[in-house]
Homo-oligomer: A and B are copies of this chain.
Amino acid sequence: VKIHSFTRKLQNEWRRLSLPETGGRVVAGVSGGADSMALWLALDELRGAGRLNVEIVVAHFNHGLREESAEDECFVARTAEQRGSAFVSGAGLVSRRGNLEQEARRARYAFLQTAAEAAGAAYLLTAHTLDDQAETVLLNLLRGAGPDGLSGMKPLRPLHNPSSLIPHPSSLILARPLLRWARRAETVDYCRARGLEPLRDAMNEDEGFARVRLRRSVLPLLSSFNGRIAEALGRTAELLQADQEVLQHAAAELLQKAAPETSSGAGLLRVDILRPAPEALRLRALRLWLEQGRGDLRRLELKHARAVERLLEEGRGGRVAELPGGAKVTRRRGALIFHAASKTEVEKGRAGG
């Protein structure tokens, strides 16, 4: 059976990522837009051609943020019925406080994770494309992110708190089989080739979002310098990911040496081990240690890690570094000590955040 070139590329990447080809289920997050519809249709094409024997569960999250939300859900549900795909949907209350885009993403992932666990799926698929990757790298660069942010999204990662640096045991893997190669225009073309007109997401047109402005103004301008800018940014992200893996591993080893007795929480951190280590590893080990103490890295910026780092230097600056949320780090007799936030401070922090 002849398959479409888009579908063939998806199959190549599916194998490269060692995703399951026989047995079991995967859950695909489907908004109804071109990217997720193309992913779904192409997986369906592989199943029809006998090249993939995995059940696809279509999961749609209705964030209720715009008028057409209910219609969108109907469109995906109807398509699933026509194609005989399993379909689940969820609705979520998205807090309009704070960053709307971030809140919507958090609610969506929470639903998708629950859906995948309920379906007994080992993989959750999202349809992020090479264009999404390029935008992510640039947005992080504009925000002044460090090497980790510049390395963009990973094609495979355990699904847990994405800001965590500590590997958690997790049976659920987030897979992005379009990330390394698919252009957004290709997904539209492929949907149409399969006789389906995907939805347009109004959020993709709202210039209130930095991502949309970036897509419309910055990327076209950068294309005048390099016609293959998305591919270039994607390649840069991959090289940086390979670097981060090595550095993160070395930092965990360093932390193990500097705070060997830690079984849970953050133990005493030995200054004599940490201070002479190279800056890149020292800073990462400190962040790991702070994550162990705080439980996560939320709101922890470079300047906070730098303040803790300064405690390593004898006689420089204060003897205490305050962290967002109320925790703090002090130095005593050649060791750094992590002090968790008191309960009151944690509540103050929540009210403020």
Q: Chain A interface (Cβ within 8 Å of chain B)?
A: 141-147, 150, 210, 213-214, 217-218, 221-222, 225-226, 228-229, 231-233, 235-236, 239-240, 242-243, 245-247, 249-250, 278-281, 283, 302
Q: Which residues of B contact A236 (CB under 8 A)?
A: 141, 144-147, 150
Shortest CB distance A234–B (Å): 9
- Does B239 contact A142, Cβ atoms closer than 8 Å? no
Q: A144-B236, A246-B247 are in contact. List 12 more A-B contacts (CB 8 A).
A: A141-B232, A142-B232, A143-B232, A147-B240, A150-B150, A210-B225, A218-B218, A218-B225, A243-B247, A245-B279, A246-B250, A246-B281
Which 5 pairs, one residue from A and one from B, show the smallest C-beta to C-beta distance? Answer: A144-B232, A242-B280, A242-B279, A142-B225, A146-B239
* Stoichiometry, copies per complex: 2
Task: Give Cα A250–Cα B253 distance, bound, in whole angstroms.
Answer: 14
A175 to B176, CA, bound (A): 44
Given A236-B150, A247-B243: A226 and B280 interface contact (C-beta under 8 Å): no
Q: Which residues of B contact A221 (CB under 8 A)?
A: 217-218, 221
A286 to chain B, nearest CB (A): 13
Residue among A217, A218, A225 with max Cβ neighbours from chain B (10 Å): A225
In this complex, the member of A222, A229, A249 whose beta carbon has the largest number of chain B beta carbons within 10 angstroms is A222
* Residues from chain B with Cβ under 8 Å of A226 in the complex: 142-144
Once bound together, how far apart are the Cα atoms of A147 and B243, in whole Å? 8
